[in-house]
Amino acid sequence: MLHHHDRRKFIQGSSAALAGGLLASSLARSVHAAGSDEIRFAVVGCGGRGTGAAAQIFNTKGNTKLIAVADAFDKNAKSSVKRLTRHAPDKVDVPEERIFSGLDAYKKAIDSDCDLVVIATPPGFKPQQFEYAVEKGKHIFAEKPLATDAPGVRRVLKSVQESKKKNLCVGIGLQRRHEPRYIETVQRIHDGAIGDVVSQRVYWNGGGIWYRNREPGQTEMEFQVNNWYHFNWVCGDQICEQHIHNLDVANWVKGEFPVECNGMGGGEQRLGGDRTKSQILDHTFCEFTYPDGSKLFSQGRHLAGAWSHVGEACQGTKGTADPSLRIDGVWQYNGPSPNGHQQEQHDLIEAHLAGEIYNEGEYGAKSTFTAILGREACYSGQILKWEELLSRGKDLAPGIDSYTMSSPPPTLPATDGTYFTPIPGKYSPFA
Ligand SMILES: NC(=O)c1ccc[n+]([C@@H]2O[C@H](COP(=O)([O-])OP(=O)(O)OC[C@H]3O[C@@H](n4cnc5c(N)ncnc54)[C@H](O)[C@@H]3O)[C@@H](O)[C@H]2O)c1
């Protein structure tokens, strides 16, 4: 089994070992309710990743069973159950009455008799869902990113503290941290292979993503929730939604989070620059500064036909490295490369079964905030400080806990049909 850098094993022969035993038995329910060692889980957000994560949980050593699902849309929830049942019929026990839909469906799935909740909804909804799962004492696997704004990150950080008090296991879908090629290379960097890291470069430069057209009869909320990638309050923009992976690697390498950022960006190519369709940018560039003064330069973009590159690079006082596999000119990773999505579920479930403390929530929330800091720096054109933005950054979805499919979403089209886009120099990131 892989040993994740943040995982601390309980020490044998102490009350901690007893706590470990309790933690394990809270998941493996042999002595309790089900009369077996079953790990019962629910999926909230039954799209590509929620369905994929469920299938990957089935492949672990745990005796896992999917018992409830929730999605904003009934058809997505049903189609996920159908696909998973076809894939692994003996691992799915989701009768009609445990298929929930709507924006409050997450509560019903979390309230089901499950031990573990998979949260794979768009990031704007994750803070409320993460908080509710912790409140109900459920173990969590949550996809990245965990929020789209500072109030959301603060809410998640608070819940992470609660989850630690309750000894809940929390896995976050930043799967590079579970891939041996990254783990071994980052360990060598931490051991001094390139000296002190003075600068890093990270990239998610790709061609673009899907667009889900407005359908007849949809409310504005239904349109935005379905087409979530294109609305900032629910997606967080490309830097948050996708580029977070590379920013997180840089934070891992440094063992720190940035203190400030400046940046720039724009959006003229996506959907022909049509602002009646999408609100987000198609390119950003950020310069982050870490507490020791070292720099992180980031490029994130969706520009079809342009240079594509996804990766990371580090410069140290004694050399350079690609943290995904290489200390340049010295060493290259040559071992197995298991799929990160699968490996993170092996690690989570094995930690559960072994009664280990396993909580990735804090770095998940702080890497989410790194991306939000970058986005707000690009939107405003200002140098933004981590502490100030975290404490005063604006709420992109006020009152989100009471949204329904007929509520007006927090961003509405202007009279010409265009959605708000920020103008640097005019946009304020503060509440
Ligand atoms: N770790 C990775 O590499 C990786 C890869 C892809 C996606 N993701 C993350 O997974 C999450 C989901 O992405 P996806 O690609 O599966 O998107 P998707 O659109 O395929 O699925 C999202 C699902 O959530 C549902 N949903 C929306 N709002 C909801 C709400 N309030 N309550 C319940 N369900 C709701 C949607 O109807 C949809 O079925 C995102 O946060 C994304 O960043 C991570």
Q: Which DSSP helix (H) or strand (E) runs through 240?
A: helix 237-241
- Based on the fold, state whether residues 388 and 261 are members of the same structural domain: yes
Asked if residue 83 belongs to a domain, the reply is yes
Asked if residue 154 belongs to a domain, the reply is yes
Residue with tokens 């007929």: 406
Q: Which domain holds residue 383?
A: 181-336+367-402
- Based on the fold, state whether residues 227 and 264 are members of the same structural domain: yes
For position 236, what pLDDT does the model report? Answer: 98
How far is the centre of ligand 1, averaged over its atoms, from the C-alpha of 21 (Å)? 33
| Closest ligand 1 atom to Cα of 46 | 39
User: Which two three-digit tokens encode residue 42?
Assistant: 């629910």
Domain count for the chain, please give it: 2
Asked if residue 427 belongs to a domain, the reply is no
Best probe residue, ligand 1, of 71, 341, 400 (max atoms within 8 Å of C-beta): 71
Answer for the pair 413, 276: CB distance below 8 angstroms, yes or no.
Answer: yes
The answer, yes or no, to whether any atom of ligand 1 lies below 6 A from the CB of 246, is no
- Based on the fold, state whether residues 270 and 347 are members of the same structural domain: no
DSSP state, 143? P
- Based on the fold, state whether residues 123 and 189 are members of the same structural domain: no
CA distances (Å), origin 162, targets 5, 7, 58, 409: 22, 18, 28, 30
244-254 helix and 180-190 helix, angle to the nearest 10 degrees: 40
The answer, yes or no, to whether any atom of ligand 1 lies below 6 A from the CB of 44, is yes
Euclidean distance between CA atoms 379 and 263, whole angstroms: 8
For position 29, what pLDDT does the model report? Answer: 41
For position 31, what pLDDT does the model report? Answer: 35
How far is the centre of ligand 1, averaged over its atoms, from the C-alpha of 123 (Å)? 8
Euclidean distance between CA atoms 295 and 318, whole angstroms: 16
How far is the centre of ligand 1, averaged over its atoms, from the C-alpha of 54 (Å)? 13
The answer, yes or no, to whether any atom of ligand 1 lies below 6 A from the CB of 235, is no
- Based on the fold, state whether residues 172 and 23 are members of the same structural domain: yes
Per-residue pLDDT of the chain (431 residues; tens, 9 = 90+): 333 433 333 222 233 333 333 344 344 443 334 447 999 999 999 999 999 999 999 999 999 999 999 999 999 999 999 999 999 999 999 999 999 999 999 999 999 999 999 999 999 999 999 999 999 999 999 999 999 999 999 999 999 999 999 999 999 999 999 999 999 999 999 999 999 999 999 999 999 999 999 999 999 999 999 999 999 999 999 999 999 999 999 999 999 999 999 999 999 999 999 999 999 999 999 999 999 999 999 999 999 999 999 999 999 999 999 999 999 999 999 999 999 999 999 999 999 999 998 999 999 999 999 999 999 999 999 999 999 999 999 999 999 999 999 999 999 999 999 999 999 999 999 99
The answer, yes or no, to whether any atom of ligand 1 lies below 6 A from the CB of 125, is yes
How far is the centre of ligand 1, averaged over its atoms, from the C-alpha of 33 (Å)? 31
For position 176, what pLDDT does the model report? Answer: 98
Asked if residue 413 belongs to a domain, the reply is no
Euclidean distance between CA atoms 9 and 15, whole angstroms: 13
For position 36, what pLDDT does the model report? Answer: 72
- Based on the fold, state whether residues 353 and 328 are members of the same structural domain: no
User: Which two three-digit tokens encode residue 149?
Assistant: 């704004």
